[in-house]
Amino acid sequence: MRQENEAKKIWFIRHQYTVGGVCAQGTVELKNGAVIENAMNGITNWHPGDWNAMGGIIIANGATFRNNRRSIEFMKYRNYIPNSNTEANNFAFLPYSLFFQYYCC
């Protein structure tokens, strides 16, 4: 029997910017050939069941996602620039990452 792995989870804190030298946002960074495999959700940017806890920075540079039901789950949320309430784009960076799905029996 194949066991499904838990997701890497990052939670929302209103914005993704550094304030006073500290990043208030949860961050997942995969590098140096990192592999996430056999997961229901490889990475998720929300706290399931809490619609007020979404966001996070996802960086996957050269990572491999293999045989996951869902490799990366991006839940929509509003990102704001601190002290201005100006809405900004989500931060995610996935260069050179590979996604594979193998089907068996």
pLDDT at 12: 46
Q: Return the pLDDT at 47.
A: 79
Domain count, the chain: 1
In a domain, 105, yes or no: no
Structural domain boundaries enclosing 46: 8-100
pLDDT score of 14: 47
2 inside domain: no
Q: Which segments in the chain show pLDDT lower than 50?
A: 1-4, 11-14
- Residue 67 is predicted with a pLDDT of 92
The predicted structure's pLDDT at residue 20: 65
In a domain, 71, yes or no: yes
Spatial separation of the C-alpha atoms in residues 85 and 15, rounded to whole Å: 10
- Does a structural domain hold residue 80? yes
Integer angstrom CA distances of residue 2 from 7, 35, 44, 80, 94: 16, 17, 21, 41, 28
**What pLDDT is stored for residue 2 in this prediction?**
41
Residue 3 lies in a domain: no
Please give the pLDDT value at position 81: 73
